[in-house]
Structure 1
Amino acid sequence: MSSVLAALLVLTQHQYVSLASVLAYVLAPVRRRLERRMRSDTAALTLISLATFVLFIPVAYILTVAIQQGLGLLTAIREGELSPDTIQGRIETIGYVIDFDLLYATYQEPIATGVQRLATGAITVIGGLPGVLIGLTVTVFVLFALLRDGEQFVTWL
């Protein structure tokens, strides 16, 4: 029964298990060096902490900044600080003349389609976050197991 559950986990989360396998392979030389000074459990936890800091913290920071910028843009649009007239005025100050009314009339359908795709994409990304968080949790657990017992697993295979 536990073999079936393990197989289902690997099949449903295969990309995260693969990520953990690649990270374990890349971190194996560092793990060997650390195990000269500390236990394998401690070495694995240290490497996971470092990998999390090096890989995932910058991505989280970039996502946070992008979300803040997007929310700031929406707030500016709602409060009227960023309107087509304001943008047109700023562009004209640098020497370009753009007729937004003509531009919008010409490209109204592609603009509406683009905005709809953007909204759908944002909803898809937000809806997929729980799955990504579960997958990253699986990655951490598999990475820990592979760092701690990876050589015995390869020997067993």
Structure 2
Amino acid sequence: MSTDTKRSKRFLLILGLLVGLLSFLIVLPFLTWILVAVILAYALTPINDRLSRRFSSGLSAGLSILIGLFLIVLPIVIILGVAAGQARQLFADFEPGNVSQLDDVIADRFGVQVDIATLHDAFSGAVKTGARGLAGNLFSIIGGLPELFIGFTVLFFVLFYLLKDGEQAVAWFRRSLPIEPAVQKELFEGTGLLLHNSLVGTAAVAGAQAALLGVAFLVLGLGNVIFWIVTTFVAAMIPLVGASIVWIPASLYLFVIGRPIAGVVLFVFGAVVISTVDNILRPIVMRRGTQLSPVVTIIGIFGGITLFGFVGLFVGPIILGLLKLIIDIFVREYPESVLLEQG
């Protein structure tokens, strides 16, 4: 390689890094919107593929977005809005002045003295922190209509062109990656498995458990059902925690307020039906492949929620799972580099 070629290559690399950094700074304010668009594009691809057989690529992408708007986005926004309202009502109902009588009830029934005020502070702090992280910037941007308009504009155009020209974009990306074909194939397949297991598998299991618990709450006459459905959905996605973190305390609550039969029914329903759903449904909807440890999943969920808001619930584990996949491939395919670094 000549001196001029080396100099040109070095300059092009520096220029590429500089432009790449500036591009990242430009994209960063809209990163959450872009991630939402990617998730929606993945979810709407099967619909778009069917529509593209009858219509042009642009028309099928537009129709897919309309379907996704009414079947996915709008219901989620409504549910989160109702859940936020019920959360505020729950905070009001749990004020120490409103539940101070539980001190005497618990003392009479179980012979245990409980400081409701202390429980209130702990409960309120935990729920408010969780709700704030769950909602993320979804509600914080409502106050700024220009930012909201720009965000939805970015979301719409990214989603539209992902659906319309997604195959060409993936093909260009494959050609541009300086990776061996076998390694590239494994990387793309592993990424597809991570997307499916997080967006389809885990979400389907968590959604089924949350819906079942919501029905049980309605039948038993418990309030703030939508809030508890959302809470159960998030909890069911967390390994080693699951929906039991909601239905077990709810069962104990029914015992405390003098409804032992309802408490037993809810406990049995949770232990037999809701917990069994995970064992039955998960093997059906989950694909074998890249599996994340509970630690990685938990860090991914909470870190993702903190960084990206509600969408981070799905994106966080995918990003950490992708990092693990890249490290595994690198260590296996290029062991000499690892040994050189160790030496």
Q: TM-score, normalised by structure 2?
A: 0.33
Higher relative contact order, structure no. (Cα contacts within 8 Å, ≥ 6 residues apart) = 1
**Residue 63 of structure 2 is aligned to residue 46 of structure 1:** yes
Q: Percent identity?
A: 33
Counterpart of 1:10 (choices 15, 27, 35) is 27
Of 14, 35, 39, which aligns to 2:52?
A: 35
Distance 1:11 1:64, change over 3 A: closer
Is residue 130 of structure 1 aligned with residue 146 of structure 2? no
Shift of 1:83: 3.0
Which residue of 2 is the match for residue 150 of structure 1? 166
User: 1:96 maps to what in 2?
Assistant: 110
CA distance in structure 2 between the partners assigned to 1:14 and 1:59 by the alignment = 20
Give the deviation of 1:97 after TM superposition: 4.3
- Is 1:73 the counterpart of 2:90? The answer is yes
Distance 2:47 2:106 in 1: 54
Gaps in structure 1 of 5+ consecutive residues: none
Show the counterpart of 1:61.
78
Contact 2:94 2:120 in 1 (8 A): no
Deviation at 1:47, TM superposition (A): 1.1
Tell me how far 1:150 sits from its aligned partner. 2.4
Displacement after TM superposition at 1:49 (Å): 2.1
Distance of aligned partners of 1:89 and 1:58 in 2 relative to their CA distance in 1, 3 Å threshold: farther
Look up the equivalent residue of 1:99 and give its one-letter code: Q
**Relative to structure 1, is the Cα distance of residues 30 and 12 closer, same or farther in structure 2, using a 3 angstrom cutoff?**
same
Hey, what's the Cα distance between the residues in 1 that align with 2:25 and 2:155?
Answer: 15
User: 2:184 matched to which residue of 1?
Assistant: none
Q: Give the number of equivalent residue pairs.
A: 146
In 1, the alpha carbon distance for the partners of 2:171 and 2:135 equals 41
Residues 144 and 8 (structure 1), Cα distance of their counterparts in 2 relative to 1, 3 Å cut: farther
Task: Give the gaps of 5 or more residues in structure 2.
Answer: 1-18, 174-343
CA distance in structure 2 between the partners assigned to 1:26 and 1:74 by the alignment: 35
Cα deviation, residue 113, structure 1: 6.1
Q: Any idea what the Cα deviations from partners look like across 1:22-59, whole Å, max 9, x if unmatched?
A: 44345334323212322322211221122233333333
